[in-house]
Structure 1
Amino acid sequence: MSDAAPSAPDRSPLQKWARIWLNRPTLLAAIAVGILVSLGLALAPNPLKWSTRAILSWDAGALWFILAMMRHMTGSGIAHMEATADQQDEGRGLILTVVMIACAISIAAITAELGLAKSTHGVMKVMHVSLAGVTVAVSWFVMQLVFALHYAHRYYSPDELPGSRGRARGLRFPGGEDPDYWDFLHFSVVIGTAAQTADIEFTSKPLRRIGTVHSLIAFTFNTVVLALSINLLASLA
């Protein structure tokens, strides 16, 4: 940022909010995909139930986001991660909140979809149950992916301590090599499955607190997924 650019406090809340979203074109594109799918389904000759439309729209946007981020992660080296970390992690609280709310809404839609499955038979029952199962997996992975990106951006963002010129870090990786996005995804998936860390350690309070929140969300989500899985099996019976 040049010296002529306004400092963060000088920007209006609207400008800051707009910048947060404009810095995330992949997320905006995913939201647009979900909206377009929703509109297309709503205008169809035989509109689907709201839960089915919601699930299909969420799955479309979420899968777009996953595939686009996989491509981004594959093509991003350490230098790029360092150069964009601070910008990408701006508004992290807002983005995490939005994604968690979206995941919660998807779970509500899944519950409604399973209710529809109980009132159908044959192929339609299998379709409803399969759609619910896919959505559970997609929602879980989106959550781990968003946390992985957050861990990566916090790790490579400039250290905010006075006089420091290094990275914020906050995590210790074995092997001594600089971690890439896939290392952070591994870290996030471990927490998402076990609600605890494995070979990577927290070394700072800010990231440890985020890890605690991640573990609590993961435990809650996994408990809900277990309940839904039992419901899925019961629906097929």
Structure 2
Amino acid sequence: MATKTAARASVESNRNDDDEPESIPAPGAKRHHFLDPRRATGRLFVATAVGIVATCFAPVHLDWRIRAVLGWDTGALCLLVLAWNILVRSCPNETQRRAGAEDPGRNLIWAVTVLASLFSLFAAVFVLRKVRAWTGFEGQLWTGLALLAVVLSWLVTHTLYTFRYAHLYYRGGRADGLDFPKDQKPADIDFAYFAFTIGMCFQVSDVVVSCTRVRRAVLVHSLISFVYNTTILSLALNVAFNLLGDG
């Protein structure tokens, strides 16, 4: 009987460490309305609404693809402003309270990341096809907007992963999965450092990943970053070379 009990406890311990748990609010965490910009769903809703408005109010004589790029740029910029307004102002305790209750979710991460990557590809390919036909200020303007779409999409992807890592670390009032130097209590900016290091280098730096659930997230994040950087950004470089060649 004692052996069975020990075995069951061991299995339960492994399952709790490896499986994705339900989100449990951290002690002291406050629940906000799902459209509140302090929540992931609220930020995404506000940014989407701003992007749609920008697309609808763009000059009607413009190509629909140009209007779409303008709408994406506006919405992505809005999302980044809302997110980084939280990231740069949060102390470790505030990060723990919010991240323990808020989970961007794997599905939301995947949806927005794939959308960002596809839209960046669309924008870059569109510019590659049109850049030689554009002349003067208009050509430079829309080329800049398309290249901006690539940069903003890259920033959105890793910003979302910043919130994801914070939640995985502080979920349920616990603090584990990542070992930061000097045993410091991490704030949002520390998770941003971790996420953007993976986005640029496809690897972690001085932060040690110490559990399977975070390794899964890091693996997927690294693969996305590699594909994104080698395909989307190479198209952006081709646009720049074409512009220099025409000049």
Runs of 4+ displaced beyond 6 Å: 19-22
> Does 2:196 align with 1:189?
yes
Amino acid at match of 2:88: T
Q: 2: distance between equivalents of 1:198 and 1:191?
A: 8
Indicate conservation of the 8 Å contact 1:85/1:153, yes or no: yes
Q: How many corresponding residue pairs? A: 209
2:54 alignment counterpart: 37
2:186 alignment counterpart: 179
Q: CA deviation at 1:120?
A: 1.4
Q: CA deviation at 1:119?
A: 1.4
Q: CA deviation at 1:174?
A: 0.6
1:11 alignment counterpart: none
Please list the CA deviations of residues 41-69 of structure 1 after superposition, one character each: whole Å capped at 9, or x if unmatched: 2xx342x2122111111111111111111
2:147 alignment counterpart: 133
Q: CA deviation at 1:115?
A: 1.6
Matches within 5 A, 1:14-163: 23=39, 24-41=41-58, 44-46=59-61, 48-89=62-103, 92-107=105-120, 108-158=122-172
Does 176-185 or 69-78 show the bigger shift? 69-78
Please list the CA deviations of residues 174-215 of structure 1 after superposition, one character each: whole Å capped at 9, or x if unmatched: 122111111111111110011111111110101101100000
Please list the CA deviations of residues 111-155 of structure 1 after superposition, one character each: whole Å capped at 9, or x if unmatched: 113322221123233223222221111111111100011001111
Indicate conservation of the 8 Å contact 2:124/2:239, yes or no: no
Indicate conservation of the 8 Å contact 2:77/2:152, yes or no: yes
Distance change in 2, residues 1:36/1:61 (3 Å): same
Q: 2: distance between equivalents of 1:202 and 1:49?
A: 47
Q: 2: distance between equivalents of 1:235 and 1:132?
A: 14
Structure 2 gap ranges (5+):
1-21, 23-32
Q: 1: distance between equivalents of 2:209 and 2:101?
A: 23
TM norm structure 1: 0.81
Paired residue secondary structure (1:175): helix
Please list the CA deviations of residues 1-43 of structure 1 after superposition, one character each: whole Å capped at 9, or x if unmatched: xxxxxxx8xxxxxxxxxx87774212211111011111112xx
Structure 1 gap ranges (5+):
1-7, 9-18, 159-165
Identity %: 30
Specify which structure has the bigger relative contact order, considering alpha-carbon pairs within 8 angstroms and separated by 6 or more residues: 2
Larger C-alpha radius of gyration, 1 or 2?
Answer: 2
TM norm structure 2: 0.78
